[in-house]
């Protein structure tokens, strides 16, 4: 065949080869991105699991500090405050939380 007839065919074949190479590179790049995304997701899931495990470990550790004005001007409220403190502690225990409950009380004047 004459070269003027083969030239467009050769150009087309060459262009197709380049497009195929580019498509292959693009596919490989996309596959690499996907692998990186999957790795990041696994790392996030792992981090979230670690946080949840830590929360489970400390979930039953509760520290409560009650601070109350015990000056003479508050005398009429002290009995009510003591009842309320008891109710709060009972509620924490009843909810099944606070297996490691630490309480503190500070009265100031």
For the chain, the average pLDDT equals: 79
In contact, 70 and 107? CB cutoff 8 Å? yes
Q: Which whole number is the average pLDDT over 12-30?
A: 72
pLDDT the model gives residue 3: 61
Q: What are the pLDDT digits (tens) for 43-75?
A: 888 887 887 777 677 767 788 899 999 999 999
The model's pTM: 0.46
């Amino acid at each position: 065949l004459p070269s003027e007839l083969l030239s467009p065919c050769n150009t087309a074949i060459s262009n197709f080869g380049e497009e195929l190479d580019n498509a292959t590179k693009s596919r490989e790049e996309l596959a690499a991105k996907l692998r990186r995304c999957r790795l990041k997701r696994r790392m996030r899931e792992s981090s979230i699991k670690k946080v949840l495990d830590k929360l489970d470990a400390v979930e039953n550790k509760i520290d409560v500090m009650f601070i109350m004005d015990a000056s003479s001007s508050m005398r009429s409220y002290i009995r009510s405050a003591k009842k309320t403190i008891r109710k709060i502690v009972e509620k924490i225990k009843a909810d099944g939380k606070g297996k490691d409950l630490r309480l503190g009380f500070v009265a100031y004047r």
